[in-house]
Structure 1
Amino acid sequence: MTDVQQRSTRGSNPDRVRQHNLSTVLGLVHRSQGVSRSQLTLATGLNRSTIAALVGELTDAGLVRESEPAASNRVGRPSPVVAAAPGVVAFAVNPEIDAVTVGVVGLDGTVQRRIRRETDSVPTAREAADLAASSIRDVLRELPSVQRAVGIGVAVPGLVRRGDGLVRLAPHLGWVDEPFVELLREATGLPTTADNDASLGALAESLFGAGRGVGTLVFLNGGASGVGGGAIVDGRPLQGFEGYAGELGHTLVNSNGVTCHCGAVGCLETEVGQAELLHALGRARGDDDDLDALLAASTDPEVLAEVERQAGYLAIALRNVINLFNPETIVLGGFLGALFGVAGPRIESLATRGALRGPRETVRLRRAELGSGRLMIGAAELAFAALLADPAALARS
């Protein structure tokens, strides 16, 4: 055991040490999406027999599985590869102004199913909870007996109070102080946790996507419900006092702009929006993949002008992000990723040209890699948190 591990567990009983070690190993396996026993030994500082015992316990609990590595020219017996078991799943829920999406995400970080229930009008909290619960019940009836659902994570396009998951404000949905977590928990009987959607997108991209291995990143996400942001600072999510940090959609980009629903003038999400891009394309609605393909293929002057306009305002917001956070990487997802896909060089040039010399020299702008699954993966992390902290609890339950 390393000196750090000895200090963190000194004075603890053997059960606590075992729980700590199981949590450490499962966390490494989960984040790596497949890692050898020898790599686990190196990463943890534990000896090989201890790693073998811990992996065996996690395998018996149905949380991981082992396989032989691919053939290589290395001398000696190859170390087995340990991967998270996809049969342990979490549900992810994302309510928006035009749909409620439910995802089934495996402990291996893959989105196994995605069910989008479109709505004719903006759903109330009760309506969204009922739609999500209906989809979850349908999936539970179809799940093979070997699969096990550990809970629900909710990606909310708005402010979520950290302590109890109360949705303080989701302006595009018209929700104020809505107990959405409680409604969904009562409807399904499953443990339920919520957080801001863009903050969860930042978490997902930092673990499995464009921000993997990056210590400090900022993620901006654009969806039907507006523009949100989240930050990972020195490897930890930036949450703020009550969990409201990262509302980058309300960065001032146009002092002569229109009044935002928040009461301010010229916010980023009043100048940069999915609806305006779809309108220019002659579409009433569409998901990220549709928008990406349509923008890339369009030569319509109206579409090109709208892309140019939005790119300029997005660059102003990104300049502010660069100066405020000094991020190593800025990741753009949702329709912002599609916008970056067709106007990336211009956006990057405008954003860095006006930023301070120090932070602009090292920042990288990248598109999100997880596509439409990013919020599902991020929300699932909320549901997996308790399991990752105490893997033995699954066997006890």
Structure 2
Amino acid sequence: MPPAAPDQLRRANTALVLRTLRDHGPGSRSALARRTGLAKATVGAIVGELAEHAVVVEGEASSQGRGRPSTPVGLVAGSVLGLGLEVNVDYVAAALVDLAGSRVLTTTREVPQGGDALDVLEGLALEVRREAPGRIVGAHLAVPGLVERDHATVRLAPNLGWTDTRPGDRLAASLGLPVQVDNDANLAAVAEATHGAARGTASSLYITGTVGIGGGIVQDGRLVRGSGFAGEVGHMPVGQPDRRCACGRLGCWEATVGLRPTLAAVDVTGEGTPMERAAQVAKRASTDPAAADVLRSLATDLGRGLAALCTVLDPETVVLGGYFQPLAPWILDDADATLADRLPSADAHRPTLRVGELGIEAAALGAAEQALADVLSGVAAL
């Protein structure tokens, strides 16, 4: 294998320093050299260059015992940012995350009935870019559909009516930034594993409920992608066999446990984000026994699908996100009971079923994390 070119080696070493500052916090140059295994002179050169670009700052020197005083090096909050975006049927979202993993901004905007979601997202993205406190180095777009491995082509997003489209190209032209595209559930899974309910777990399965149903699988901090389309769980044929899905097929899981059939079953109408409308469903269930019965049935169908997934994937944790969060008091226990009943390995191992912590902005947060991935891996320079 040929040796790395000098610029590749410099990027890799810089990324190593950035990752140890992100994962373990500030440290002196000597401490960073020990953490990374790099020569102290190499660390010193990297720190100097990063300080010139206001990426790191050196604090006040402190003396601990004998020897020269040590000066801690830390990341500058909000200096280098990843922009995460999400487009969905009735809302869009944006998030900024800095190199330390801190959430700088999260925001959502409703898409008016009959409006163009990409138009609304483009306006929101431009606003966020103007207001960003630091330098945005890249952007990721979360889409509820099948995304090719080129991270550009949306093969199919039935709820948006998209086939073979490249929405990132339009946003990149407007923002003047590279924009990669990924599945929304994949990116929300990253966010929950990094910031939310799946922190500290080796393997997690994330189920998102927006208009459709998607899944994301994280193993040892990495997304499991298969050949590119892993996680399209909403179209598993485990739903009610007579229910027609937006994809045109009968019996898809999301045609039974998705937001639209749930709203129809409890006769909740009106606009708002999936979270807001799910909250209306939960409120209705608190006074209407028929609505409570709908949610019990939903929980059973949800648990059956989870059992099928967990039998194959064997995750340590299952996280229910999106519109399932406001419904959790009504569905969590019954879904968990059905999962235990239908899971062959439940006596030996039963995954922990948790409610997501990041709400409707999870996919945008995960997208912002992925927007920084090339810098933190050394693929891209700052």
TM-score by length of 2: 0.84
Measure how far apart 1:49 and its partner are.
6.4
Deviations 1:1-57 (A, max 9, x none): xxxxxxx9x944554433212112223434x38454587556534466655554443
Q: 1 CA distance for matches of 2:204 and 2:72?
A: 33
Q: 2 CA distance for matches of 1:348 and 1:291?
A: 23
Q: Aligned to 1:272, which of 226, 234, 257?
A: 257
Which amino acid in structure 1 is aligned with residue 176 of structure 2?
A: G
**Residue 68 and residue 319 in structure 1: after superposition, are their counterparts in 2 closer, same or farther (change >3 A)?**
farther
**Residue 93 (str. 1) matches residue 85 (str. 2):** yes
**Residue 258 (str. 1) matches residue 243 (str. 2):** yes
- For 2:107, the equivalent position in structure 1 comes to 114
- For 2:355, the equivalent position in structure 1 comes to 367
Q: Aligned to 2:128, which of 130, 139, 152?
A: 139
Are the aligned partners of 2:190 and 2:366 in contact in 1 as well (CA < 8 Å)?
A: yes
**Residue 198 (str. 1) matches residue 191 (str. 2):** no
Measure how far apart 1:372 and its partner are.
2.7
**Residue 75 and residue 94 in structure 1: after superposition, are their counterparts in 2 closer, same or farther (change >3 A)?**
same
Q: Aligned to 1:237, which of 223, 230, 250?
A: 223
Measure how far apart 1:113 and its partner are.
4.0
- SS for the counterpart of 1:149 is strand
Q: Which runs of 5+ in 1 are unaligned?
A: 1-7
- SS for the counterpart of 1:254 is coil
Q: 1 CA distance for matches of 2:271 and 2:20?
A: 40
**Residue 314 and residue 122 in structure 1: after superposition, are their counterparts in 2 closer, same or farther (change >3 A)?**
farther
Are the aligned partners of 1:203 and 1:237 in contact in 2 as well (CA < 8 Å)?
A: yes
Measure how far apart 1:122 and its partner are.
5.8
Which amino acid in structure 1 is aligned with residue 258 of structure 2?
A: G
Q: Aligned to 2:36, which of 26, 31, 44?
A: 44
- SS for the counterpart of 2:181 is strand
Which amino acid in structure 1 is aligned with residue 173 of structure 2?
A: E
- For 1:219, the equivalent position in structure 2 comes to 206
**Residue 230 and residue 187 in structure 1: after superposition, are their counterparts in 2 closer, same or farther (change >3 A)?**
same
Q: 1 CA distance for matches of 2:217 and 2:307?
A: 15
Deviations 1:153-203 (A, max 9, x none): 100000111115111100001101112111222233221100000011111
- SS for the counterpart of 2:381 is helix
Q: 2 CA distance for matches of 1:322 and 1:200?
A: 20
Are the aligned partners of 1:193 and 1:382 in contact in 2 as well (CA < 8 Å)?
A: no
Q: Which runs of 5+ in 2 are unaligned?
A: none
Deviations 1:278-327 (A, max 9, x none): 45374523335535655665512133112111101100111011101011
Q: Aligned to 1:181, which of 158, 168, 173?
A: 168
**Residue 342 (str. 1) matches residue 325 (str. 2):** no
**Residue 356 (str. 1) matches residue 344 (str. 2):** yes
**Aligned-residue identity in percent:** 34
Are the aligned partners of 1:33 and 1:83 in contact in 2 as well (CA < 8 Å)?
A: no
Q: 2 CA distance for matches of 1:359 and 1:325?
A: 16
Are the aligned partners of 1:322 and 1:360 in contact in 2 as well (CA < 8 Å)?
A: no
Are the aligned partners of 2:374 and 2:380 in contact in 1 as well (CA < 8 Å)?
A: no
RMSD between superposed Cα atoms in Å: 3.3
Are the aligned partners of 1:19 and 1:391 in contact in 2 as well (CA < 8 Å)?
A: yes
- For 2:272, the equivalent position in structure 1 comes to 286
**Residue 162 (str. 1) matches residue 149 (str. 2):** yes
Which amino acid in structure 2 is aligned with residue 106 of structure 1?
A: D
Are the aligned partners of 1:158 and 1:197 in contact in 2 as well (CA < 8 Å)?
A: yes
Q: 2 CA distance for matches of 1:286 and 1:251?
A: 27
Measure how far apart 1:362 and its partner are.
4.3
Comparing 80-89 with 181-190, greater Cα deviation is found at: 80-89
Are the aligned partners of 2:318 and 2:352 in contact in 1 as well (CA < 8 Å)?
A: yes
- For 2:159, the equivalent position in structure 1 comes to 172
Q: 2 CA distance for matches of 1:359 and 1:205?
A: 27
